[in-house]
Amino acid sequence: MRPEQGKVVVVGSLNMDIVVRSSRFPASGETMFGQEVHFIPGGKGGNQAVACARLGHKAVMLGAVGDDGFGHSLLESLKANGVRTGHMKKTNAAATGIASITLTPADNTILVVPGANETLTAEDINAWSSVISEASILLVQLEIPMEAVAAAVDIADRHGIPVILNPAPARNIAADILRKVRYITPNQSELLELTGIALSDEGLERAIDALLERGPEFVVATLGSKGAAWKQRGGQLQRIDAHRLEVIDTTGAGDAFNAGLACALSRGELIGNGVRFAVAVSALAVTKFGAQDGMPMKEEVERFMRSFTHEGATR
Ligand code: RIB
């Protein structure tokens, strides 16, 4: 099958996010009362697929859920958002993944129990080879077994399909995988963990260069409130500021960024425009509560981008 323009295939995790709002994090050994609890569809893979669908793209999700209540809700939520779920694995071997998230006004902590996500094998991925071969871009994260990541990247490589690897959460990545990835999108702590280089001002570029040497053609680093920086092998370091909007929930901010980048690149945008679009998608995502629930629609992003292009006021 030939790649289809604008089609993003996401290989990754699905979790039910159990989000507890709290005034602060409990201290070690302390019991305290939280304010409210929410069960919200999440998982880095699911979040990225939903974001792509909301941005008006064909988004295909490849991953695993348990044959249980959370698994069914996650699939329903993906479908309701327009994500194609026809090839998902449903397993009795493990429960659907969950993420226990504590959300305070200042920050969040996330503890993931991968469950069914851990059952994804290279064999499962190889069975989806024809689905991956129709993608115009493949988007992968690291919340599934490395053998599954390696198999997906390998299929994309054989079909000449560009891969965005979002190295979250940070783990050791085999040299062979890095050589087959065109874009890698670490945040600051992932960049530090992958390269061992502290991110002072000049450390950032050294860390990016160290990662470029390992294979990817582009490193796109997300820098939280400082925006994003990117570099192509042999090119110059480029930077873009973050937008200053009211932050409600940063869960899924990185997922929104990766989805925005994948969508822009899948329709043939240049990297600079892709990063600009991704920064806008991510800025809007944090103004709403919940990872998947907070992903913006295409029209919102376009309106937002028009507003600062014309007025220059919201940046
Ligand atoms: O990136 C945010 C996601 O990380 C959450 O939705 C949670 O499920 C964890 O995977």
- Would you say the CB of residue 255 lies under 6 angstroms from ligand 1? yes
Alpha carbon of 84 to those of 17, 29, 41, 273: distances in Å?
21, 44, 16, 26
Round to whole Å and give the CA distance between 83 and 80: 7
- Would you say the CB of residue 19 lies under 6 angstroms from ligand 1? no
Q: Does 169 sit behind a cis peptide bond, omega within 30 degrees of 0 on the bond before it? A: yes
Listed in sequence order, the residues at least 6 apart from 250 whose beta carbon sits closer than 8 Å to its beta carbon are 107, 108, 286
Round to whole Å and give the CA distance between 65 and 14: 7
Q: What percent of the chain has pLDDT over 70?
A: 97
Residue 315, pLDDT score: 38
- 24-28, 90-94, 102-106, 273-277 — which is least confidently predicted? 102-106
238, 230 Cβ separation under 8 angstroms: yes
What DSSP state is assigned to residue 295?
Answer: P
Round to whole Å and give the CA distance between 47 and 3: 23
Using DSSP, state whether 100 is helix, strand or coil: strand
* Confidence band for 309, pLDDT divided at 50, 70 and 90: low
Residue reference for tokens 């329903």: 76
Tell me the catalytic residues: 255
Mean pLDDT over all residues of the chain? 94
What mean pLDDT comes out for the span 300-311?
Answer: 82
Which ligand 1 atom is nearest residue 98's CA?
A: 8
Which ligand 1 atom is nearest residue 15's CA?
A: 8
Taking alpha carbons only, the member of 310, 263, 309, 307 closest to residue 282 is 263
Residue 42 CA, ligand 1 centroid: distance in Å: 5
Find the length of the chain: 315
- Identity of the residue numbered 203: G
Predicted structure pTM score: 0.94
* Confidence band for 255, pLDDT divided at 50, 70 and 90: very high
Residue reference for tokens 């390998």: 154
Alpha carbon of 70 to those of 27, 76, 115, 116: distances in Å?
30, 10, 12, 11
Alpha carbon of 33 to those of 23, 210, 232: distances in Å?
9, 45, 48
Residue 297, pLDDT score: 97
Residue-wise pLDDT tens digits, 170-226: 999 999 999 999 999 999 999 999 999 988 768 899 999 999 999 999 999 999 989
Residue 216, pLDDT score: 98
Residue-wise pLDDT tens digits, 95-133: 999 999 999 988 889 999 999 999 999 999 999 999 999
What mean pLDDT comes out for the span 75-88?
Answer: 97
What is the DSSP pairing of strand 238-240 with strand 228-232? Answer: antiparallel
- Would you say the CB of residue 44 lies under 6 angstroms from ligand 1? yes
The answer, yes or no, to whether residue 3 has pLDDT greater than 90, is: no
Which ligand 1 atom is nearest residue 47's CA?
A: 6
Listed in sequence order, the residues at least 6 apart from 1 whose beta carbon sits closer than 8 Å to its beta carbon are 130, 133, 134
